[in-house]
Structure 1
Amino acid sequence: MKARFSAWLVVVLGALLLLQTAWQKSPTWDETGYFGLGAYLLKTGNWDVPASCSHPPLAFYLHSLPVFAYPVDWSPWHYPEGGAQDLGFLRSADLRRGNALLLDANYDGERLFFFCRASAVVLFGLLALVLYRWGCQLRGPQGGLLALLLLSFCPNTLAHASLINTDFVFEATFALAAYAFYFLLLRPSPWRLAGAAVSLGLALGSKLSALVLLPGLGLALAWFLVFASPEQRQQLEGMCWWPRVGVWGQSAALYLWVVLGGGLVLWALYGFQLEPYLLTLRSQMGDLDAGHEAYLMGEYSTQGWWYYYPVALLIKTPVPVLVLGGWGLWQVMRDRSRWAALGLLIWPPLLLAGLFVAGGKDIGLRYLLPVYPFLFLLAVNVLPASGTQGWRGWRAWLLMLCCLWHAGGTLRNHPDHLAYFNELVGGPDQGYRYLVDSNLDWGQDLKGLKAYMDQRGIVRLKLSYFGTVDPALYGLQYEWLPSFYLPAPLDARALLPTTGLIAISATNLVGVYMGGYGQERDLFRWLRSYEPVARIGHSIFLYDIPER
């Protein structure tokens, strides 16, 4: 009873951190284009507007349900005929449409935006339930509690669970699909087979990279059969639909039923249409071929580095999670009796990580977000099989230290979870030296900048903003400086270097996307020699440059 109460307490605290972050942070880069998209898809059943073929639709649906409770003007969703045949049009983001929804005078656009963000708290609760049950199966109630603690104070999960985006939805459904398949292998039944199929379909409907689950679950199944106990193999044989093919044949049939059922669920998410999914596949393949501007430790590339994601994982994951995850893996490897369960903790996240390490599209750690639940579950294995009762000595003290360090570090940085960097690189203030974009600065602190200005009586400043939301949403007055993407006013005449009070996003400061303004990436090099007078959420730097 005590463990369950503690589990509830930890989850509620994590949900509150998520909701507070969702309210305090301004819309990030992708959110402006995704805002309300799912409502349009559900309302019309048509994939004929910008961003509709950028990703599968599950996240769009989830984050758009509150839109139906508001008097939304649908006119921004009407486009000239012919666009639906242009893949470039369907994969693009209409930022004017999103800003029109935010600035509509008929309702409080900021409040609607918060409700759309907050809808992810339901999925956060589902992910918490999955990790608690899985942790309990591995190491009892204490194992479930440890998994919840690591989840609820994970800065990367909190950051993306508070946004209108696909990344956290993918994290949750990826873990759900793996757990449902694991649950099916432990105690096969038709109902668990259906649950595994639905869970796989939801994951496939959240992001195209969920396709790695198909080989991932297959490899995990083979691993399970190799290392399963005789009792576990006998339970699989108990399904006995085709007794003559043996346990391997029956398991293969079980896997195929899960995959077919998952495909049916995915088809249903598209309203039983195939073409939108194929267009989305083509869209993503085009992105891979085109490459992507990336920044890593002072270097720039469009083709990426094989070590980008390992470095990002190393410096943006809390140190205690790395310690506990490595310790837990070592404990599992020492005990062969635990190896049957190891396959589903290893193969799906390993294949996902391998996909992006080899892919050359270095966008951000958010692409590896589904790895974290499996890392938490590996960490659970540091506990002895009998639970923490009678567990003494350095192991207990190390576990307690890691838990306090993990929770304390996240609370200290709240609500700036997106900008989190661990102590190995000096924390969030040093993050811009290593990574930018969605790893640090995704436009989330414009609201914080306006609050800073109001507190200090600052009426106007010079602004170079990396983001897509219109500063008019917050009544922010500014003189435009070259930005990505903030459009220039018609009378803009930016002369650089300049003086006065300057607010600049970290991504623009390092210049990763600023080549369009000339001088390649050195447009703001002159500003880097000054020390900022303030940092807003670690992502917007404020400089006060004196007149010469």
Structure 2
Amino acid sequence: MKIFAKRKLDFYAGGICLVFFLLGFFTVNGFKWNNLKESGLAITGDEVTYISSGYYSLKTGRNFFNPEHPPLVKSIASLPLLFLNPALPAFTNKPFIKQSFPYTDYSFAHEGEIKNNQWNYGRLFLFNDFNNPDLIVFWARTMILLFNAGLLGLVYISIAKIWDKRSALIGLVMAAILPLSLAYGSLVILDFTSSLLSILALVWFAIFLRRLTDKKGGLASFILSAIFISLAILAKTTSLLMLPIMLTVGLVYLLANVQTRALWWNYLWSLIMMSVIICLTIGAVYWPNVRQMSGADISEQVGHFLPAASPASLQPIYAPWARTTVLFLSQGNSFVRGLGEFVLNIFLNVKRADLSEQHKIYFMGHIYGRLGAPIYYYPVLILTKLPVTVLTLMLMAKILFFKNWRKLKQLDLEFILLLSYALIFLAIAMYFNLQMGLRYVLPVILIAVFLVGKILSDNWAFPLAGRYKISVKKATVFLLIIAGAVNLFIYPDFLSYYNLLAGGTANGYKIAVDSSYDWGGQDLKKMAVWLNENQVQTIYVDLFTNAQPAYYLGDAYRPYKTGIDPWPMSGSYVAISAQNYQTDLASNSLAKQKYFTMDNLVDRVGQSIFIFKTP
């Protein structure tokens, strides 16, 4: 009992991480483990390529599929698959031909491998007769969820080290109970993992700077800072944004605190050594994924993504330099070739940010294309997809911050560095046009909740309403309990969650869809159950998904494109996903078939699939 009394906040934090893991586990995997085909959530859009390309790269040592994303998350999710040992498609030299389900030819053209035909490969790998896609997804998700729960614990420990355990616990509770966290932290995607690793990198870099100026050594903080920076970058390339922000804030901090030339040289030498550690870590993580790639393989890959034969006017300005750098590194050993693949990854992400790469975006009744959605896209999603209780805590913290900022201790190096990164990240996300869901600004949200935890903790006894004896402590505890309890009513629709300001989850699709609501058919398994329960023999399906609907729906499945394909016969069931419904509605593709309105909705599967019946 003495140990518990002394470290009770640590035990609470461990319990929160465990609850996060269990709630996420049962959300995505369900309870019918003897029949995973009808249990939990179906594989979502990006998971098709992340799981398949991650296992392919680890197994073959070739990084041709999905090279535009670094390998860390994909490799971690694929570790249990090495023991499960699912079959990989055999590569042949025949011309690439897109296959359809059910597959009769379990081979894949080398041409499709070189050209990164990742979606067709992913479907062929997952949904062939030799593999069990639901078992593969089960183990991949469980592994990444376990890793994310561990990262939450590390963030708590790190925040407690720079501030105090109460600040860290408040932030941890908010981060763990966010529907966004439970949704994205349970899937094999990059955003949640990279966000937590970015927080760890920023915190430990600040600790390193402080110990450097205090002349207290700091070898451990130096090494941890370098490792977490490396891992954050290896989780998602956008984490590179940390580096100029770290250097700028660090420079300002040193100018204000360093008086001797020796400390400046020490700092410069530390940055050089940190860069070496980062390069070594990146090369080491890439190595298993490129160990069987030759220089000729990489040259062929570069020839596809950055062709030298293209007219100069059609090439990005960086293309010649990128091509030369990657080809130079490809001549080294497998470790150096891994660095070459990382450089290629950076330029492929720059290419994705080009306007010509923009997807269609549905937002509040309109379709946006090359120029992206309005600048208020992310602010609206933040206000409508975060629980009202969490928004209230954020508002409380903002008021307290500006009311008592002279008395607060929060304006320290760590606070400023985290806040600077969050604000700059949000500003860049609002400016650029990759607006396909709130997950893109997840680092901003998770940093915000830990900053809120710090402000609330520093004002713990502050009276909010003295007449009623309501302090910050009482209000915070009450709102966090309410937020946690609300999750019991949201379960398992954390991905589609919208708060009351948006009219609730059922109406959230009217604001934004894609990964904020309907991410590639997560309710496909539930639809198979619905067919069986309602004894539906045939259904016309218009789903936004990278999975194979026929695998789950069987002979009842009929592919259908609303507004294009002929009207089904009278009495036919038609299933339309929220993503397709809203994009077709906003672009007037449904004008020919106006019957598909919510007034004629027959049923709803989960939140993301609408069922109609033709008259």
After TM superposition, the score normalised by the length of structure 2 is: 0.77
User: Which residue number in structure 1 is paired with residue 365 of structure 2?
Assistant: 298
- Out of 14-23 and 76-85, give the one that drifted further: 76-85
Q: For residues 212-361 of structure 1, what are the structure 2 equivalents within 5 Å?
A: 212-222=241-251, 224-225=253-254, 244-245=260-261, 247=263, 250-271=266-287, 272=335, 273=337, 274-289=339-354, 290=356, 291-302=358-369, 303-304=371-372, 305-333=374-402, 334=405, 335=407, 337-340=409-412, 341-361=414-434
- Paired positions, count: 519
Find the aligned partners of 2:249 and 2:113 in 1 and give their Cα distance.
36
Question: What's the CA shift string for 1:69-100, capped at 9, x where partnerless?
Answer: 1242222555669998999923x4233x3233
User: Which residue number in structure 2 is paired with residue 14 of structure 1?
Assistant: 20
Q: Please say if 1:205 is aligned against 2:234.
A: yes
Q: Secondary structure at the match of 2:601?
A: coil
> Is residue 459–residue 472 contact of structure 2 (8 Å, CA) maintained in 1?
no
Find the aligned partners of 1:284 and 1:262 in 2 and give their Cα distance.
19
Sort the Cα spacing of 1:404 and 1:254 in 2 relative to 1 into closer, same or farther, 3 A: same
Find the aligned partners of 2:20 and 2:491 in 1 and give their Cα distance.
11
Sort the Cα spacing of 1:142 and 1:525 in 2 relative to 1 into closer, same or farther, 3 A: farther
What residue identity is the alignment partner of 2:69? H
Q: Secondary structure at the match of 2:86?
A: coil
- Out of 155-164 and 106-115, give the one that drifted further: 106-115
Q: Please say if 1:421 is aligned against 2:493.
A: no
**Consecutive unaligned residues in structure 1, runs of 5 or more:** 228-232, 238-242, 485-491
Quote how far apart the aligned CAs of 1:134 are.
Answer: 3.9
- Out of 32-41 and 527-536, give the one that drifted further: 527-536
Quote how far apart the aligned CAs of 1:367 are.
Answer: 0.9
User: Which residue number in structure 1 is paired with residue 325 of structure 2?
Assistant: none
User: Which residue number in structure 2 is paired with residue 230 of structure 1?
Assistant: none
Find the aligned partners of 2:602 and 2:112 in 1 and give their Cα distance.
47
> Is residue 160–residue 167 contact of structure 1 (8 Å, CA) maintained in 2?
yes
Find the aligned partners of 2:247 and 2:594 in 1 and give their Cα distance.
50
User: Which residue number in structure 2 is paired with residue 430 of structure 1?
Assistant: 507
Find the aligned partners of 2:155 and 2:169 in 1 and give their Cα distance.
9
Sort the Cα spacing of 1:497 and 1:456 in 2 relative to 1 into closer, same or farther, 3 A: closer
Quote how far apart the aligned CAs of 1:210 are.
Answer: 0.9
2:115 aligned residue (84, 89, 101):
89
What residue identity is the alignment partner of 2:42? S
Q: For residues 45-124 of structure 1, what are the structure 2 equivalents within 5 Å?
A: 45-48=61-64, 50-51=65-66, 53-76=67-90, 89-90=115-116, 92-95=117-120, 97-124=121-148
Find the aligned partners of 2:77 and 2:160 in 1 and give their Cα distance.
30
User: Which residue number in structure 1 is paired with residue 481 of structure 2?
Assistant: 404
Quote how far apart the aligned CAs of 1:201 are.
Answer: 0.8
User: Which residue number in structure 1 is paired with residue 222 of structure 2?
Assistant: 193
Question: What's the CA shift string for 1:235-256, capped at 9, x where partnerless?
Answer: xx7xxxxx95265564455445
User: Which residue number in structure 2 is paired with residue 381 of structure 1?
Assistant: 454
> Is residue 223–residue 343 contact of structure 1 (8 Å, CA) maintained in 2?
no
Q: Please say if 1:41 is aligned against 2:57.
A: yes
- Out of 127-136 and 315-324, give the one that drifted further: 127-136
1:162 aligned residue (164, 186, 204):
186
> Is residue 300–residue 512 contact of structure 1 (8 Å, CA) maintained in 2?
no
Q: Secondary structure at the match of 1:462?
A: strand
Find the aligned partners of 2:605 and 2:90 in 1 and give their Cα distance.
33
Find the aligned partners of 1:124 and 1:98 in 2 and give their Cα distance.
24
Sort the Cα spacing of 1:195 and 1:141 in 2 relative to 1 into closer, same or farther, 3 A: closer
> Is residue 422–residue 448 contact of structure 2 (8 Å, CA) maintained in 1?
no
> Is residue 180–residue 195 contact of structure 1 (8 Å, CA) maintained in 2?
yes
User: Which residue number in structure 1 is paired with residue 175 of structure 2?
Assistant: 151
Find the aligned partners of 2:272 and 2:219 in 1 and give their Cα distance.
14
What residue identity is the alignment partner of 1:60? K
Sort the Cα spacing of 1:15 and 1:524 in 2 relative to 1 into closer, same or farther, 3 A: farther
Q: Please say if 1:454 is aligned against 2:532.
A: yes
Find the aligned partners of 1:145 and 1:497 in 2 and give their Cα distance.
58
User: Which residue number in structure 2 is paired with residue 133 of structure 1?
Assistant: 157
Q: Please say if 1:174 is aligned against 2:251.
A: no
User: Which residue number in structure 2 is paired with residue 528 of structure 1?
Assistant: 597
Quote how far apart the aligned CAs of 1:386 are.
Answer: 8.6
> Is residue 331–residue 381 contact of structure 1 (8 Å, CA) maintained in 2?
no
User: Which residue number in structure 2 is paired with residue 183 of structure 1?
Assistant: 207
User: Which residue number in structure 2 is paired with residue 240 of structure 1?
Assistant: none
> Is residue 562–residue 590 contact of structure 2 (8 Å, CA) maintained in 1?
no
> Is residue 390–residue 479 contact of structure 2 (8 Å, CA) maintained in 1?
yes
> Is residue 170–residue 206 contact of structure 1 (8 Å, CA) maintained in 2?
yes
Question: What's the CA shift string for 1:261-307, capped at 9, x where partnerless?
Answer: 32332233222223322332332233222122111101111111222
Sort the Cα spacing of 1:158 and 1:224 in 2 relative to 1 into closer, same or farther, 3 A: farther
Q: Secondary structure at the match of 1:535?
A: strand
Quote how far apart the aligned CAs of 1:435 are.
Answer: 0.1
What residue identity is the alignment partner of 1:187? R
Sort the Cα spacing of 1:386 and 1:251 in 2 relative to 1 into closer, same or farther, 3 A: farther
Sequence identity percentage: 24
> Is residue 99–residue 470 contact of structure 1 (8 Å, CA) maintained in 2?
yes
Quote how far apart the aligned CAs of 1:512 are.
Answer: 5.5
Sort the Cα spacing of 1:256 and 1:181 in 2 relative to 1 into closer, same or farther, 3 A: same
Q: For residues 416-495 of structure 1, what are the structure 2 equivalents within 5 Å?
A: 416-442=493-519, 443-476=521-554, 477-482=556-561, 494-495=566-567
Sort the Cα spacing of 1:390 and 1:329 in 2 relative to 1 into closer, same or farther, 3 A: closer
What residue identity is the alignment partner of 2:46? D
Q: Secondary structure at the match of 1:343?
A: helix
After TM superposition, the score normalised by the length of structure 1 is: 0.85
Q: For residues 492-511 of structure 1, what are the structure 2 equivalents within 5 Å?
A: 494-495=566-567, 499-511=571-583
Q: Please say if 1:541 is aligned against 2:610.
A: yes
> Is residue 349–residue 370 contact of structure 1 (8 Å, CA) maintained in 2?
yes
Q: Secondary structure at the match of 2:166?
A: helix
Q: Secondary structure at the match of 2:607?
A: coil
Sort the Cα spacing of 1:535 and 1:336 in 2 relative to 1 into closer, same or farther, 3 A: same
> Is residue 93–residue 111 contact of structure 2 (8 Å, CA) maintained in 1?
no
Find the aligned partners of 1:144 and 1:7 in 2 and give their Cα distance.
9
Find the aligned partners of 2:386 and 2:566 in 1 and give their Cα distance.
39
Find the aligned partners of 1:539 and 1:246 in 2 and give their Cα distance.
61
